[in-house]
Structure 1
Amino acid sequence: MSADMIALEVRELHAFYGKSHILQGVNLYVKEGEIVALLGRNGAGRSTTVKAIMGMVDNRGEVLWRGKNILGMKAYEIAHLGLGYVPESRDIFPKLTVHQNLMLGEKGGKKPSRWSFEDMYKMFPRLRERQHTEAGVLSGGEQQMLTLCRTLMGDPDLIMIDEPTEGLAPAIVQLVAEYLKELKRRGISVVLVEQKLAIALQISDRVYVMGDRRIVFEGTPAELKADANIRKEWLEV
């Protein structure tokens, strides 16, 4: 499949929490094997965008996955189509071991997965060391690694990751960045919801900036670096 082919396209996406109108006509696309960052301040609608794509909030508009409109499908149905979602909350199973958590991520089926337990442990050696440890006693950084790897064990073709570096030490942040580059090397598309501008600009092919619950900028990392007005108005605190 051509790298220029669009994997995911969102058209005029609106989302609602009860009567609250959160997203107000979001448009974006992600190509096959591309890393796209979704930037913006807290409350801009970034997390709601990925939840709406996964069918986790009330929505309307169009969400096209490889040309098929998946809006209205349930989250588990969307996941079975090849979309992975890593929430900010790091939803691990605390009483299960690291290895058992990874096992739960595996998706049944005849198609062989691109990822093995060995891949996970090679990417994050700390998880190998703790593979028989209950996940609930891991550090925040280790839990983040585990959540990322558990989602990968389901062999998604596109993965949406919400604030993966939140609260992590700089060395762990760099590990996560290398992990995301490895996903791209293996042909997986990535939507990265991130507040750390430096890491997003370092690894992304394109960036979107959200403000007032809509997209206010689309371009390359270089174009965002060159646009001081956008950064000042929508990103800088």
Structure 2
Amino acid sequence: MTDLLDIRGLHAYYGKSHVLHGVDLRVGAGEIVSLLGRNGVGRSTLVKAAMGQVSATGSVRFKGAEILGLKAFQIAHLGLGYVPENRDIFATLTAEQNLILGQKKNVQSGRWRLDDMYAMFPRLQERRQVAAGVLSGGEQQMLTLCRSLMGDPDLIMIDEPTEGLAPKIVALVAQYLQALKEKGVSVLLVEQKLAIALDISQRVYVMGHGAIVFEGTPQQLRADAAVRKEWLEV
């Protein structure tokens, strides 16, 4: 399998605080990979560093080219999408205007159209003329996921998409992730809910104290009670 995203020896800092300690991680073409771990271990820092939002050292290669040091908008234009945990919607614009803003300019051959978004999340179509700021948390999460897709990424990094959502919406997010895989979009999923990650991923990483402490298949993680107890369970 060809690696779309290949992170090697990544170190990152917030001021004098050393957050990432030589992280290695890869995501292959058409693969869903989950990054698990407790809050505060560096998972969000990893995806922000890959997206050019946190200064870091080491190597981040995307589609074979080094992207560490590029600006976030340059990285996005290369086909790496990012859905932040805080959703970052444009509150005063309608849901549909938010989606249209996500489109790459001069891209006519993308995999996704507005109709695709509405087919995936019919609730968004019902609420398409509503200001994004008054949508529910679940609707805002759907909107953020879909807006990222409108840029037609080859790989999308999604930070805690199910945080604070009702179980019914969590199930919709899981369907969304499977739909991405079926269209050939790779996913790096930062997630705390073990069940959803193990159900949809081909491989999983577990992070602890800014380093990778486990890499393997969902089946291997299910079988490794010691890793789950030490690094995942509350």
Please report the TM-score for the alignment, with normalisation by the length of structure 2: 0.99
Aligned to 1:182: 179
User: In structure 2, what is the Cα distance between the partners aligned to 1:73 and 1:129?
Assistant: 38
User: In structure 2, what is the Cα distance between the partners aligned to 1:30 and 1:152?
Assistant: 18
User: In structure 1, what is the Cα distance between the partners aligned to 2:171 and 2:165?
Assistant: 10
Aligned to 1:116: 113
1:170 is aligned to 2:167: yes
Name stretches of at least 5 consecutive residues in structure 2 with no aligned partner.
Answer: none
1:59 is aligned to 2:52: no
Aligned to 1:73: 70
What does the per-residue CA deviation read over 1:187-225, in whole Å, with 9 as the maximum and x for residues that have no partner?
A: 000000000000000100000000010000000000000
Aligned to 2:13: 16
| Letter aligned with residue 214 of structure 2 | F
Aligned to 1:96: 93
What does the per-residue CA deviation read over 1:53-85, in whole Å, with 9 as the maximum and x for residues that have no partner?
A: 001001000001111111100010000000000
State the shift of 1:111 in Å: 5.0
State the shift of 1:112 in Å: 1.1
Change (3 A) 1:110 1:178: closer
Q: How does 1:124-135 map to 2 (within 5 A)?
A: 124-135=121-132
User: In structure 2, what is the Cα distance between the partners aligned to 1:136 and 1:111?
Assistant: 29
Moved over 4 A (4+): none
Aligned to 1:149: 146
Change (3 A) 1:110 1:42: closer
Aligned to 2:24: 27
Further displaced range: 110-119 or 177-186: 110-119
State the shift of 1:109 in Å: 2.5
RMSD over aligned Cα, in angstroms? Answer: 0.7
What does the per-residue CA deviation read over 1:105-150, in whole Å, with 9 as the maximum and x for residues that have no partner?
A: 0001245110000000000000000000001110000000000000
User: In structure 2, what is the Cα distance between the partners aligned to 1:146 and 1:130?
Assistant: 10
Aligned to 1:232: 229
Please report the TM-score for the alignment, with normalisation by the length of structure 1: 0.98
Name stretches of at least 5 consecutive residues in structure 1 with no aligned partner.
Answer: none
For residue 207 of structure 1, give the secondary structure of its aligned residue in structure 2.
strand
| Letter aligned with residue 19 of structure 1 | K
User: In structure 2, what is the Cα distance between the partners aligned to 1:166 and 1:220?
Assistant: 23
- Of 210, 213, 223, 2:210 maps to 213
1:158 is aligned to 2:155: yes
For residue 96 of structure 1, give the secondary structure of its aligned residue in structure 2.
coil
User: In structure 2, what is the Cα distance between the partners aligned to 1:196 and 1:72?
Assistant: 32
For residue 152 of structure 2, give the secondary structure of its aligned residue in structure 1.
coil
For residue 167 of structure 1, give the secondary structure of its aligned residue in structure 2.
coil
User: In structure 2, what is the Cα distance between the partners aligned to 1:101 and 1:219?
Assistant: 37
Aligned to 2:34: 37
Aligned residue pairs total: 234
- Of 28, 41, 46, 2:43 maps to 46
User: In structure 2, what is the Cα distance between the partners aligned to 1:139 and 1:50?
Assistant: 26
